[in-house]
Amino acid sequence: MSFSEEFELLLRACYPLIYLPTTEEERVEKAVINCAKRVGNRKVYIWDFVEGYQDNPNNEGLGKRNPLQALEYLEKLPESAAGVFILRDYHRFLEDISISRKIRNLARKLKSQGKNIVIIAPQIAIPPELTEVLTVVEFALPTGGEIKAEMQRLLSATGQSLPEKMLDELVRSAQGLSEERIGRVLSRCIATHGKIEAEDVELILEEKRQSIRQTQILDYYPATEQISDIGGLDNLKDWLLRRGGAFSERARSYGLPHPRGLLLVGIQGTGKSLTAKAIAHHWHLPLLRLDVGRLFAGLVGESESRTRQMITLAEALAPCILWIDEIDKAFSGIEGKGDGGTTNRVFGTFITWLGEKKTPVFVVATANKIQALPPEMLRKGRFDEIFFVGLPSQEEREAIFTVHLCRLRPHNVKNYDIKRLAYETPDFSGAEIEQTLIEAMHIGFSQNRDFTTDDILEAASQIIPLARTAQEEIQFLQNWAAAGKARLASRQSGMSNIQRQVN
């Protein structure tokens, strides 16, 4: 059901108090006015704290700096005078006892009068005593169709036309932005070179990055890593390559659902985060990084609101990759957390969305401690697959050394004994191999020469890998994977191979 359909239904059903959480004040007011016209041509009254009511000369300025008077005005109008009363930023006054009591009194009267109070606020902030009388209606960001119509309007105003393919690319790049931001960035494009061009996609993406940064929940992460930058993990790479076209219209016509996501469990430094970045680059999708800790805020109800905001933003940017790094740290031991149930509610909202989402948001979650994750997270349907990413085999270590040396010394790779390096670093993760090479470069640089195989081996001898310092924890993960709880990301089979990694 669209916003207009839902809002009109509430007007016809005489819902007295409606709460619209959105930052798009101008756009939502237009939508409310249009809905009010279609439902009995109802008059719309608009109030804000600074100007009071502004709709006609008879009540101009009424209720200025007086939120209680703004409510009392409704009682002065005849009972038969149906209308919609928009109160801007009124969430700031709901904690006041006189306001709260007045709203509850009005809720009883307005049901039979054809009057509706509409509170427009940038976030949900409803005190407990008003939860039963206020109805929250989500107002989504502009759809692709709405963005396209706005772009076509601007193009028509400038006497310009664009090829359909270029227009669709601009629309895709603008998804997830408010109508105000879209209009602003397109005006900037026109002011820069007199028209909208294909190159303006980068300006739109920069505006999107700015918008996402301001939420302080998601980060728009640049993804330049490629699948070929991942050494080993062949089973995981094959799985990803098979799903490369799964977001296309051809896949929908074939009957395939949108891929849901991956849970990557394993030892630190084995390439889980790198995989998330490589997926976004290979599938040509925007990469959003969620720090789950940012969802938790100090005010009551704010954490749940931020979770809903994160979901709304991710879905507005779809198709996209949502990368959640170290999810185990956020939701470990949720039953015992003394936060009044906030973590439980955030977790409940999040996993319900994981299981029920229909939009093409591909979630890539990483975890180092599988035992810390609630069992509900591992249930089938939350993710398409759970992969275990273990310590690399000797063959995979050769691939990892090759990837890094090709990047660091592309013209001198043959000077390094990669097979020997892989053999001499049996318990090293990918991150530890990278650190070994950095240390070897410091050795060579300090002596005014290029680093050699011997420098790398010397650096490796000074590093104590995690496989030795956290052996029990790694053993637990290896045994969990060997029990068939997850697919192996690497082409290794049998318990002996897994056990040998930590021996």
Q: How far apart are CA 295 and CA 331, in angstroms?
A: 12
Return the structure tokens found at 156: 């028509």
Q: How far apart are CA 489 and CA 466, in angstroms?
A: 19
Please tell me the pTM assigned to this model: 0.72
Q: How far apart are CA 433 and CA 427, in angstroms?
A: 10
Residue 484's Cβ-side half-sphere holds a number of Cα atoms within 13 Å equal to 0
Other C-beta atoms closer than 10 Å to the C-beta of 206 total 12
Return the structure tokens found at 349: 């909202």
Regions of the chain where pLDDT drops below 70? 56-57, 297-301, 333-340, 492-503
**In CATH terms, are 3-136 and 227-389 the same topology?**
yes
Task: Give the pLDDT confidence score for residue 348 in this predicted structure.
Answer: 87
**Residue 191 identity:** A
Residues 6+ apart with CB under 8 A from 374: 331, 334, 347
Q: Class of the 3-136 domain?
A: alpha beta
Q: How far apart are CA 185 and CA 125, in angstroms?
A: 30
Long-range contacts formed by 48-52: CB under 8 A, 24+ apart: 48/87, 48/88, 48/89, 49/88, 49/89, 49/92
**pLDDT per residue over 21-71, tens digit each?**
998 999 999 999 999 999 999 999 999 999 999 876 677 789 999 999 999
**Residue 252 identity:** R
Q: C-alpha angle with apex 265: 431 to 484, nearest 5 degrees?
A: 130
Q: Which DSSP helix (H) or strand (E) runs through 45?
A: strand 43-48
From first CA to last CA, the distance across the chain in angstroms is 58
Residues 6+ apart with CB under 8 A from 105: none
120 bridge partner residues:
20, 88
Q: What superfamily does domain 227-389 belong to in CATH?
A: P-loop containing nucleotide triphosphate hydrolases (3.40.50.300)
Q: How far apart are CA 54 and CA 450, in angstroms?
A: 74
47 bridge partner residues:
53, 87
Q: How far apart are CA 461 and CA 444, in angstroms?
A: 16
Strands 52-53 and 43-48: antiparallel
Check: CB of residue 50 under 8 Å from CB of residue 64.
Answer: yes
Domain ranges of the chain: 3-136, 144-215, 227-389, 394-426+430-464
Q: Class of the 394-426+430-464 domain?
A: mainly alpha
The mean pLDDT value of the chain amounts to 87
**pLDDT per residue over 344-372, tens digit each?**
888 888 889 998 888 889 999 999 888 88
Strands 287-290 and 320-324: parallel
The radius of gyration of the chain from alpha carbons, rounded to an integer in Å, stands at 28
Using CA atoms, how far residue 447 sits from 361, 444, 455, in Å, is 50, 5, 11
Other C-beta atoms closer than 10 Å to the C-beta of 442 total 13
Return the structure tokens found at 198: 């294909």
Q: Which DSSP helix (H) or strand (E) runs through 121?
A: strand 115-121
Q: What is the dihedral of CA 291, 296, 302, 308, to 10 degrees?
A: 40
Return the structure tokens found at 57: 């000369």
Return the structure tokens found at 99: 């306001």
Using CA atoms, how far residue 357 sits from 64, 140, 350, 353, 475, in Å, is 43, 15, 10, 5, 35
Task: Give the pLDDT confidence score for residue 157 in this predicted structure.
Answer: 82
Return the structure tokens found at 24: 């798009």
264 bridge partner residues:
366, 387
Phi then psi for residue 33, to 5 deg, are -60, -45
Task: Give the pLDDT confidence score for residue 335 in this predicted structure.
Answer: 61
Angle between helices 144-157 and 164-174 (to 10 degrees): 120
SS3 17: strand
